[in-house]
Structure formats: C-alpha cells, structure tokens
Amino acid sequence: MNVRLQGWGGAALYVFAAAMMVFILAPILLIIAISFSDGYFVSFPPSGFTLDWYSKVLGNSEFTGALLFSTLLSLGTTLFSLLLGIPAAFALVRGNLPCADLCKGLLLSPLIFPVLITGLALLQLFTGYGWSNAKLNLLLAHTVVTSPYVVRTVITSLELVNPSLEEAARTLGASRWATFRQVILPQIVPGVMSGAIFCFMVSFDNYPVSMWLADSENTPVPVVLYRQIGTVFDPSVATMSTLIILLATVVVIILEKLVGLRRAMAA
C-alpha cells in the first residue's frame, strides 16, 4: 500500500483526491472561520478576528451544562452499548443459534429505520409505561440506536479470529472467561474501539431522538444548538459547532493513541 503513483495518471489522482478533501473540509473550515468573526451576525468572509464569542459561549451556563450532559450521556451510552453489543455479537458468531440471521437482523434493525421515527416510537413506549425520568429515557434510547454499531464491528472482528486458538486455550485448562479475556478480547480490540467511537459520536450528535425525550433540565447539546439557531443566528452558533468539532477531534486522537485509528477502522 506504500506504492507511489507516477505519471500523468498518478498526478491526476492526487489532484482529484486533494480536490475531494477540500470539498469535504470546506464546510468545517467555514464554520471555524465564522466562529472568530467580530460581527454580530454570521457573515463570510469574517469582518475581523475576535475570541469574544468563545468567552461568551464558555460563559453560557446553558451551553456548558448541555455540553457536560451530552458528554456524560455519550459515555454512558457507549458503556451500555459495549456491555450489550459484545455478548450479542459473540452469541451470534460462536453461539450456533438456530435463527442467527434473524436475530442479527433484529439487532441491526435500528440502523435501517429512520432515527426520527425511532425516537417517536420510544417516546410513546416510555409514556405508555409512565417512565418520566428524562436521563434514563435518553440513556436507553441512545443505547438502542448505537448498540448496533458495536454488534456490527465486533461481529466482523470475531469472524476474523481463528476458533482453533480458543479451542487450544480451553484444552490447556483455561476457563471460558479466561479464554475470552486473554485470547479473544486482544484480537477484537479494534472492532470494540471502532464500535465505541461510533457509539460516542452518534450519541453525542443525536438530535432526532434527543428532541423527543429531553426536558428543560436534561438537554443535550444538539437540542441547545438547534434552539439557538431558531432564535438568533449569530457567530455563537459557529463557536458552539467548533467546540463540538474540537471534542470529536480529541476523541479520535485518543483512539489513535490507544489502539491506532487505522487498525481500529480496519476491523
């Protein structure tokens, strides 16, 4: 994969790749540039440079509270998705279930249905049972939406694991838990980590589900951001978006330091 492309074809491919990168990154760079504007309304190019919007946003208790709530909610959702998704994937691959394909389809079905419809259905379900705890409802709903990512990535990793290694460990006297912890888990770490980052990102940026289940005291940051856009569209909106992008970048860097992003995303 380290072969360098040469000739006119290689140069054209490099130019095309660079153009695609600019096309993909242009909206993000535009938002970041607007966040430093010294105007009172969104305009591009910015009329000047200032950090006042960052101090204003970071001093906004509504936004900082929503940012903290979304971070904790996403971490909790990721944890629950891992606790549910890893055993489910293991059962589908190693359990010899008679209806494995049907079970797999049911577990992955939240990826198919529109998230807006899923959020509305969960709202009706929680309302019907009288569950009024917004924090718990959001945690359960986000777990329903994100756990299929863990199931999908861990299944892919498990299918690449040689079952003979598990059989050898069991033959040598290792228990099921020891076999999983010392033999299987190290080999599926890329799938687990890639599923975890998908869970965190999807949960943190999930507006359709949060819109139905949030209340005035438990409001995720996407709801606050959309509310801000609906009232006044000033550079503070771009500043909030930039901070969210920064947080996502930090998560990706942490994943790269833990297991290597290329290795994790190759699962």
The lowest-confidence range among 3-7, 79-83, 137-141, 249-253 is 3-7
Tell me the pLDDT band of 191, cut-offs 50, 70 and 90: confident
CA atoms within 13 A on the CB side of 227: 13
pLDDT of residue 4: 58
Q: CB–CB of 210/224 below 8 Å? A: no
Average pLDDT for residues 139-159, to the nearest whole number?
Answer: 88
pLDDT over 60 (residue 264): no
Average pLDDT for residues 119-128, to the nearest whole number?
Answer: 86
Return the top range by mean pLDDT from 76-80, 101-105, 160-164: 76-80
pLDDT of residue 9: 67
Tell me the pLDDT band of 80, cut-offs 50, 70 and 90: very high
Residue 180 or 85, more confident: 85
Average pLDDT for residues 120-131, to the nearest whole number?
Answer: 85
Residue 234 or 58, more confident: 58
pLDDT over 70 (residue 3): no
Tell me the pLDDT band of 2, cut-offs 50, 70 and 90: very low
Average pLDDT along the chain: 80
Tell me the pLDDT band of 1, cut-offs 50, 70 and 90: very low
Question: Exposed e or buried b for every residue in 180-219, given b needs 16+ CB within 10 A?
Answer: beebbeeebbbbbbbbbbbbbbbbbbbbebbbbbbeeebb
Tell me the pLDDT band of 116, cut-offs 50, 70 and 90: confident
Total residue length of the chain: 267
The angle, 0 to 180 degrees and rounded to 10, between the axes of the packed helices 235-258 and 61-94 is 40
pLDDT tens-digit readout, 17-59: 888 888 888 888 887 887 777 767 666 777 777 777 788 878 8
Tell me the pLDDT band of 7, cut-offs 50, 70 and 90: low
Average pLDDT for residues 154-166, to the nearest whole number?
Answer: 80
The helix/strand/coil state of 35 is: coil
Q: Mark out the alpha helices in the chain (DSSP H runs).
A: 7-34, 52-58, 61-94, 100-108, 115-128, 134-159, 163-171, 176-179, 185-204, 208-213, 221-231, 235-258, 261-265
